[in-house]
Amino acid sequence: MAAHTVSYKCPSCGAPIGYIPSTDKIVCEYCGTAFKIETLDDIYDKEQAQAAKSRAAKEATWHTEKAGSEWSEEELAHMHAFTCSSCGAEIVCDENTMATECCYCGNPTMLPSRFSGMLKPDFVIPFKKTKEEAVAALEEFYKGKKLLPDKFTANNRVQAIQGMYVPFWLFNSDISASGVYKGENDSVVTTPDEIITTTSVYRCERNGSMRFERIPVDGSKKMDDSYMESIEPFDYSDLVPFSSAYLSGFLADKYDVDAEAAVARADERVCRSAEGCLESTVTGFMRTHQMEDCAVFKENGAVQYAMVPVWILTTQYEGKPYTFMMNGQTGRLVGSLPADKNKLMMYSAGAFIAAFVVLYLLLSNTIMK
């Protein structure tokens, strides 16, 4: 008959604990904390229940099948698709708009392709910022950048500018979460011979519920995630039911990350936010630690498919392309800029000299004293 062994760890410090014969207590060999057997059993029962909740929470699903809808035959007749012969980007537009070059890699060869494999969006945030405002925002973006090459600012011209609708999956759900935390407080007593520090450890259980609406997850692999995160947030109160009329004069990126593939990122954002909310309520301690994974339950998990507006601007300097993106709703703009090597060396040398002078003065004052 196989022996079954259960190993217990101290709820306070995590070290092994052992039973004291002829008593009803178990004592930690490391921190000396004593527990009654009934108390320890209760703690471990709760931990097992919490672990079961965490496993069940991970199995909860989003209703991704309800995101987006099918295009009507009439709508399909007025939609066109183009594929970049260089990077493979698939661009969608209406019959009045032509994709003449790839807004991602600048390739001028866009091949007509069959419009298929794309759901009709549920919502769209229409463009609020115009092309002229995007160009003005880029010129304003240059100001104050002392390391920019003079030729870049003097001769720079926007070579290409295109309004693009970027696909996003919006996740909505009621959330209930629970977690266990450890709080620690120290008390110090000083005697002529020693300093005694006593640490009190507290087990803190937290439960809560909240509502998440429109958690955004980018549906395009080609769109630089760091750029998209930098031009966020979008004001989703401006969402309106999708109509292909909003595409007139603009392009739309065909999603290559479907709703199901976006679930992992949505779960990560939900769990991180829920854990942060629970942990923020554990107060009054010198130190706090999360003892185990939070259990986050999703209910009524719905997903919507939306298009958001982005202006993509491209310039060139010394044969190298520079891309900028602007939130087509709020006007927030980001991008990378070249640096003048001579100016960089000059500023670096100036900073070094200034630091050397300060250090010299400090040392001189110290020696004089």
From first to last of its 369 residues, what are the pLDDT tens digits of the chain?
Answer: 444 444 567 766 666 666 666 556 777 777 767 777 777 777 777 766 666 665 665 556 777 877 887 877 787 777 778 888 777 778 887 766 666 677 777 776 676 776 677 788 999 999 999 999 999 998 888 877 666 676 666 666 677 788 989 999 999 999 888 888 889 999 999 988 889 888 888 888 888 999 989 989 888 888 877 888 889 889 999 999 998 888 888 888 888 889 999 988 888 888 889 989 999 999 999 998 887 778 888 888 899 999 999 999 888 777 777 888 999 999 999 987 766 555 555 555 555 555 555 554 555 555 555
d(CA 330, CA 217): 19
Model confidence, pTM: 0.70
Q: Please, where are the H alpha helices in the chain?
A: 37-59, 73-77, 131-142, 150-155, 225-231, 263-279, 341-368
**Domain spans of the chain?**
1-59, 64-173+209-269+302-346
User: What value, to the nearest 5°, has the Cα angle with vertex 325 and ends 242 and 141?
Assistant: 135
Cis peptide, bond prior to residue 126, ω within 30 of zero: no
What beta strand segments (E) does 51-194 contain?
79-84, 90-94, 110-113, 123-124, 160-190
* Among the listed residues 152, 173, 178, 122, the one whose alpha carbon sits nearest the alpha carbon of residue 308: 122
